[in-house]
Amino acid sequence: MPKGSVVPDLVVDAERGRVYLADVASATNLSVHIDSGKVRLFSGQPSLQAEPEARMRADGILTHSHSKPTSTGLNPLTLSRKAATHFITAP
């Protein structure tokens, strides 16, 4: 993982042999092939970015990172029932 990565969520697709991780620090979605270790990065897409006014809360309390309100567009991750679709949601 790159230095400074923050990975609060992952999902395993055992059928396809992949693990998907959300790096909220860089708004990057990683796809790791379990057997080979090969990593594909998905980043730079507007859909991976948080909306400008979106703020993360835990139990109704605003969360902070480096003294700034936390904002992320990549958490949580989910696979569809048959692992045909990989969903990325924004808080």
For the chain, give the mean pLDDT. Answer: 78
Kindly report the number of other CB atoms within 10 A of residue 23's CB atom: 22
Q: Give per-residue pLDDT as tens, 56-84.
A: 777 888 877 778 777 666 667 777 777 66
Residue type, 66: H
Does an H or E element contain 22, and which?
strand 18-23
Q: Give per-residue pLDDT as tens, 10-21.
A: 889 888 899 988
Mean pLDDT on 29-53: 84
Residue 23, C-beta contacts closer than 8 angstroms, at least 6 positions apart: 1, 2, 5, 6, 7, 29, 30, 74
Q: How far apart are CA 14 and CA 43, in angstroms?
A: 23
Q: Please give the share of the chain, as a percent, with pLDDT higher than 70.
A: 81
